[in-house]
Amino acid sequence: MSKLEIKKCVLEIIDSLCDRNGFDDWWCNLNDDVETEITAELESIIENRLNKKMNKEEAKDRLIQLLMGQVVDLSMMSRIELGDDVIAEIKRLKEIINKPYEENLC
């Protein structure tokens, strides 16, 4: 399936969802950046699923990236601050992730 066909498929899915109560209002109220992020993620998921390129680790990384982006967006939009303990834990876990494998064994 070509990238153009995948884009058409995503647009068809979104079009179909817009026929459902509430989704259309929600979708229309999103800003352009969020719409672009969602459609790009859907395209990527479909492409990877069709091509079976994504392994389990890559899927975990993509999920973490998506969720972190949503946490940042939601906290900024809602003017909610994360607690110091949450921020410290995020930093600690990122440090572990970014260390070379051998250092994590110690």
The separation between CA 71 and the C-alpha centre of its own chain, rounded to angstroms, equals 10
Question: 0.75 cut: is pTM over it?
Answer: no
For the stretch 51-106, pLDDT in tens is 776 677 877 887 888 888 888 887 877 777 878 888 888 888 888 888 876 555 55
| 73 burial level (CB within 10 Å; 0-12, 13-18, 19+) | middle
Q: Domain map of the chain by residue range?
A: 1-54, 56-106
Residue type, 95: E
- pLDDT of 101: 63
For the stretch 9-55, pLDDT in tens is 999 998 988 888 888 888 888 888 989 999 999 998 888 888 776 67
- The 3-state DSSP class for residue 1 equals coil
- pLDDT of 102: 57
